[in-house]
């Protein structure tokens, strides 16, 4: 089998999302996906990655991973890393199709039938617009009040009702980010007593309404300096959050370690990192409760399965990130059911029940708070044919 084409597909409705299709002379097409900085990702794929892949056997995945990453294994999730992640995942999809097996079977088979899901409380419009600045909440936090599953608006103003709704859907955990807006005035350096009171309000409502029946993860989006982050942690501890996620900026791992050691609540890190070296430092510190990574950013399934094994060696659980796209979700579920130390799979029910269905041919089943992997060859899904026919579609092919 030889690679005959590498295509990138995007649509203006979801301008941060890129799909990659790797075509072969046997008619098989592998699908990958990544999120953020779409134009830069497309440029890297067609300028450097596609010329390398064309004419090669796509099933030599490990070799291609090392060639495609080359000098880019710097530990970050820049455009090169995201491009290579999407390609790597498309090659795994091809391997599954060529072998007639689902990805979880290629990863050693199931260790469980399904992976427990937690709901990230975004709405269907969250991160829908092109992201112009990572600290600009307006870019990320569009809401449609009154829309079904508008969980971002709900956690801000009706967290008690939201928790009850999630429990009815079978979820036993949810993730919110009630302190983000409060970091903007001081760039995360100062948190006032009044800020703490405002940020804690959703937690108070949830615990008053449903007690400990649902776990609540606190996402902090790397917005805080160490002193303020510690203050937030101390204020939250009485409400027993599930974890603190990315409390400080990830470029200084020692700061993250100091935070993690300052609180009895587990710290999780980080979807913002790539490279085994950074994760090795996290594991060796002994300070963290979980590993998190994004399969569309971290280096694809090739890297993610190694990170899962590294975490297992330290008796630590991991949880794949997905607040980006349906292919990423499917990959995380395949990995999660195959690895004994997978704890959770992130899902945004607002995405799952709305636009995810518009762009792919199938999704992992979400039932009673658990996600079940697709059982078809490879990913078990493909890009819906209607996506290529959309008037707002942009398609570039190297062949």
Model confidence pLDDT, tens digit, residues 265-310? 999 999 999 889 889 999 999 999 999 999 999 999 999 999 999 9
Assess whether 66 and 115 both reside in one domain: no
Residue identified by tokens 């659980």 is: 317
Residue 377 lies in a domain: no
Task: Report the greatest alpha carbon distance in the chain.
Answer: 63
- Measured distance CA(109)–CA(16) in Å, rounded: 33
Across the chain, mean pLDDT equals 95
User: What's the pLDDT tens digit per position in 121-148?
Assistant: 999 988 888 877 655 566 566 777 777 8
Residue 168 lies in a domain: yes
User: In angstroms, how far is CA 293 from the centroid of its own chain?
Assistant: 7
Residue 326 lies in a domain: yes
DSSP classification of residue 360: B
Helices (H) and strands (E) in the chain, counts: 18, 14
Q: What is the CATH number of the domain that holds 74?
A: 3.30.390.10
Residue 303 lies in a domain: yes
User: What's the pLDDT tens digit per position in 201-220?
Assistant: 999 999 999 999 999 999 99
Assess whether 347 and 392 both reside in one domain: no
Q: Percentage of the chain with pLDDT > 70?
A: 96
- Measured distance CA(395)–CA(166) in Å, rounded: 38
Collapsing DSSP states into helix, strand and coil, what is residue 174? Answer: strand
Assess whether 89 and 131 both reside in one domain: no
Range of the structural domain that residue 363 is part of: 105-372
Residues 6+ apart with CB under 8 A from 128: 13, 14, 142
Assess whether 200 and 299 both reside in one domain: yes
Assess whether 256 and 155 both reside in one domain: yes
Assess whether 250 and 169 both reside in one domain: yes
Residue 229 lies in a domain: yes
Assess whether 81 and 173 both reside in one domain: no
Check residue 130 and give its pLDDT: 82
Check residue 129 and give its pLDDT: 81
Q: Determine how many CB atoms are found less than 10 A away from the CB of residue 191.
A: 22
**How many domains would you assign to the chain?**
2
> What are the backbone dihedrals phi and psi of residue 83, each rounded to the nearest 5 degrees, phi first?
-60, -45
Residues 6+ apart with CB under 8 A from 389: none
Which residues of the chain are modeled with pLDDT < 70? Answer: 71-75, 133-141
- Measured distance CA(241)–CA(243) in Å, rounded: 5
């Amino acid at each position: 089998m030889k690679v005959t084409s590498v295509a990138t597909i995007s649509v203006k409705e979801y301008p941060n999302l890129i799909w990659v299709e790797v075509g072969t002379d046997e008619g098989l097409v592998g699908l990958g996906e990544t999120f953020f900085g779409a134009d830069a990702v497309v440029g890297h794929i067609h300028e450097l990655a596609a010329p390398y892949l064309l004419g090669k056997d796509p099933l030599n995945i490990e070799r291609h991973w090392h060639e495609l990453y080359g000098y880019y294994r710097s530990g970050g999730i820049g455009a090169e890393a995201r491009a290579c992640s999407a390609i790597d995942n498309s090659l795994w999809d091809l391997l599954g199709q060529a072998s007639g097996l689902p990805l979880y079977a290629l990863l050693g088979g199931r260790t469980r039938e399904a992976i427990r899901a937690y709901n990230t409380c975004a709405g269907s419009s969250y991160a829908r617009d092109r992201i112009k600045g990572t600290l600009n909440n307006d870019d990320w936090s569009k809401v449609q009040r009154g829309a079904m599953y508008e969980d971002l608006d709900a956690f801000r103003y009706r967290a008690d009702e939201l928790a009850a709704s999630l429990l009815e859907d079978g979820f036993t955990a949810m993730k919110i980010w009630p302190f983000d807006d409060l970091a903007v005035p001081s760039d995360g350096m100062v948190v006032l007593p009044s800020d703490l009171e405002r940020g804690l309000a959703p937690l108070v409502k949830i615990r008053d309404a449903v007690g400990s029946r649902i776990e609540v993860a606190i996402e902090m989006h790397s917005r805080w300096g160490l002193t303020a982050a510690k203050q937030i942690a101390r204020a939250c501890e009485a409400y027993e959050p599930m974890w603190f996620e990315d409390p400080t900026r990830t470029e200084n791992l020692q700061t993250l370690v100091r935070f993690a050691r300052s609180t009895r609540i587990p710290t999780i890190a980080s979807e913002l990192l790539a490279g085994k070296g950074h994760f090795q430092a996290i594991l060796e510190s002994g300070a963290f409760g979980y590993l998190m990574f994004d399969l569309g950013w971290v280096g694809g399934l090739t890297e993610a399965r190694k990170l899962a094994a590294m975490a297992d060696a330290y008796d630590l659980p991991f949880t794949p990130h997905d607040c980006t796209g349906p292919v990423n979700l499917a990959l995380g579920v395949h990995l999660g059911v195959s690895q004994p130390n997978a704890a959770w799979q992130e899902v945004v029910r607002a995405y799952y029940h709305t636009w995810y269905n518009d762009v792919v041919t199938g999704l992992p089943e979400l039932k009673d708070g658990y996600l079940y992997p697709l059982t078809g060859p490879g990913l078990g899904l493909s890009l819906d044919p209607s996506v290529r026919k959309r008037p707002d579609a942009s398609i570039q092919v190297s062949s």
